[in-house]
Amino acid sequence: MQCERCKNNVATVHLTEIVKSQKTEKHLCEQCAKEEGYTIKTHVSLQDLLTAFISAHDDAEEMAGVKCPDCGMTYVDFRSEGRLGCPNDYEVFREALDPLLEKIHGKVEHSGKLPSRAGESQRKQRDLMALRRQLRDAVDKEDYEAAARLRDEIKTMENIDGSA
């Protein structure tokens, strides 16, 4: 589609205006849109992001036929709906989902809050992981005082673990 203002560039900005319940549409190129004073949204929604990630990850072809025995969802269903069918899907589609999760979040390892039933040992594991991450950050920042303190904390916690 051609820009209706300069009749030269390709129209990439499509606007719908409703004035007194009269709908008008405008198709402009980016330059003309700017000149007419329309600000163009450069941020994308999380949903756009997810859709882009899912479609960019086409190498998961072998996943296409995989079906969750619990909820009956296939990976193809997920790709078109953008939502999973049940908690078990995270394991069933793991091979395809993990790279997706890494793109979205940068990491594929929970380090936040645990439910109370997760148990003491798991909680300790989580705390240790957090301390080790802080230690790495402290070393990166050359904050050796903090690093020494964290190292001792980790040692103490590991010892408690060992004796238990």
Q: Rounded CA gap, 52 and 94, in Å? A: 19
Evaluated on CA atoms 73, 77, 79, 82, the torsion sign reads: negative
Q: Is 87 in the site for another protein (CB under 8 A)?
A: yes
Nearer to another protein, 7 or 34 (CB): 34
Q: List the one residue from 31, 67, 101, 128 that touches another protein (CB under 8 A).
A: 101
CB of 8 to another protein, least distance (A): 25
Diameter of the chain by CA atoms? 78
The β-bridge partners of 17 are 24
Q: Is 15 in the site for another protein (CB under 8 A)?
A: no
Nearer to another protein, 50 or 139 (CB): 50
Residues that bind another protein (CB under 8 A): 21, 39, 42-43, 45-47, 49-50, 70-73, 81-87, 90-91, 97, 100-101, 104-118, 122, 130
